[in-house]
Amino acid sequence: MFSPEDQQIEICLLKSNLEEIENGLIVQHSALPALEVENELKYRETMTALRVVRSLNSQIEQLKQESVRLTAKRMQLKRQCEDISRELERARTNRNDLENLLKQEEHDTEQEMYVLCLI
């Protein structure tokens, strides 16, 4: 067994250790409200950032859909332009054919009139 002096020293050491532990707990406990405030602030900042990101993602998705819609419209207009270009080329060809036929008809008419005048 320990002598009374050893027991007294042991008690003093244990008491000192308990006081150190108590002081540590007091420091931690006093820091908790500040940490809670900081955590709440960080939580609010995170939630705000998350809302902003969700909003931006929604806008990006809308822009992607609009891009798809515009691409489809562009392709439709391109096909229409190609159809119109083909029709225009066909009309030009028809006009040229008609002009040539008209010139030929005028020439034939002039030839007939010349022949009739000679008779």
Mean pLDDT (whole number) for 78-98? 98
CA dist 66 and 42 (Å) reads: 36
CA dist 97 and 108 (Å) reads: 16
- Identify which has the larger pLDDT, 97 or 31: 97
CA dist 77 and 62 (Å) reads: 22
Residue 2 near residue 10, CB atoms below 8 Å: yes
pTM equals 0.52
Residue 10 near residue 18, CB atoms below 8 Å: no
> What is the model's pLDDT at position 28?
78
> What is the model's pLDDT at position 94?
97
The pLDDT tens digits for 1-55 are 668 787 888 888 888 888 888 888 877 777 777 778 888 999 999 999 999 999 9
- Residue 2 makes CB contacts below 8 A (sequence gap 6+) with 10
Closest CA to 82 of 74, 93, 70: 74
Q: Give the DSSP letter of residue 100.
A: H
Given a cut of 80, is residue 76 above it in pLDDT?
Answer: yes
> What is the model's pLDDT at position 64?
97
Distances (CA, A) of 67 to 4, 56, 64: 89, 16, 5
